[in-house]
Chains A and B, each alone.
Chain A
Amino acid sequence: MYAALWRVLPGPWWVRVLILLVLAAVILYLLYFYAFPWVFQTVWPSEESTIGGGG
């Protein structure tokens, strides 16, 4: 999988590394700011801090 990704990337090795770093940063951002909060709210709805079960 990663070997194939490396092969389809253009340019010399340092351009490929740069592209991969940017790609990793984008993926991390999407995970941390969108995917993980969504997972938390949908998969983990039990954390309650209120009294009387009011939500």
Chain B
Amino acid sequence: MGEILLTVGVVMLLYVSWHTWIGDAIVQGEQHAAAQALADQWANENDDQPEASPPATPAPNDEPVIPVLGDQKHAAVFGIMKVPRFGADWQFKIASGISRPDILDRGEIGHYPDTSMPGAVGNTVYAAHRWTSGAPFDPIDRLVIGDAIVIQTKAGWYTYRFRSLEYVQDTQIQVLLPVPNEEGVAANGRYLTLTSCAPKLNSLERIIAYAVFDEFTPTADGPPASLTGGVGA
């Protein structure tokens, strides 16, 4: 009897170790590998395509054309998020939708389906776990103003720059608006918003990170300086 109780106790401690550290490490490893494989695949597919002829003498004052993805099917993986501040290896797949079992609990970052796609005028909003399931947004509170939040798709890299953090109730859906928290205001710029739970280890509130669009870099041009240049102090 004593041995059985001891065994149960050890298994419980093992669960705690999984929940706190090991599970995250496992999912992070899987996600990093999967995201890297996807990025490599995109690079290869773009290599296979014939070189697109550059547009004839683009007018210097023209707004650069930013490609925008169409609507995605639920759980379709359409991008990879990279944030140099979180580490050079930090990258997670982005899937369409914010349901838990098939997206967030697998360590993927979820895109709110009713918000804009990256690069579009409006607000592109993402959710991810802050602890457990790979905890993609665990370091979200370490962002510094100006930090790059980069979304890679097959077309290229969308660089957003972090502006501010906020803590809100989970009912404050205004953070999802085209201009975050501005009701009745038409979309006037390109915003990115991240949502996760706060404080860590419970879900009483939500932590929100806001960013604004900086630049788009086509895949053919190679990774942008926002990814290769390192992070500031």
Structural contact, A49 and B104, CB atoms closer than 8 A:
yes
Structural contact, A48 and B197, CB atoms closer than 8 A:
yes
Residues on A with beta carbons closer than 8 Å to the beta carbon of B176? 51-52
- Those of A16-55 within 8 Å (CB) of chain B: 28, 31-33, 36-37, 39-41, 45-55
- The answer for the CA separation of A23 and B42 in the assembled complex, in Å, is 41
Q: Which of B22, B133, B206 contacts A32 (CB 8 A)?
A: B22
- The answer for the CA separation of A51 and B168 in the assembled complex, in Å, is 9
- Those of B101-123 within 8 Å (CB) of chain A: 101, 104-105, 110, 112
Q: How far is the CB of A21 from chain B (nearest CB, A)?
A: 16
Chain A residues near B (Cβ < 8 Å): 1-2, 28, 31-33, 36-37, 39-41, 45-55
Chain B residues near A (Cβ < 8 Å): 3-4, 7, 11, 14-15, 18-19, 22-23, 26, 98-101, 104-105, 110, 112, 127-133, 137, 168, 170-173, 175-176, 195-197, 203, 206, 208
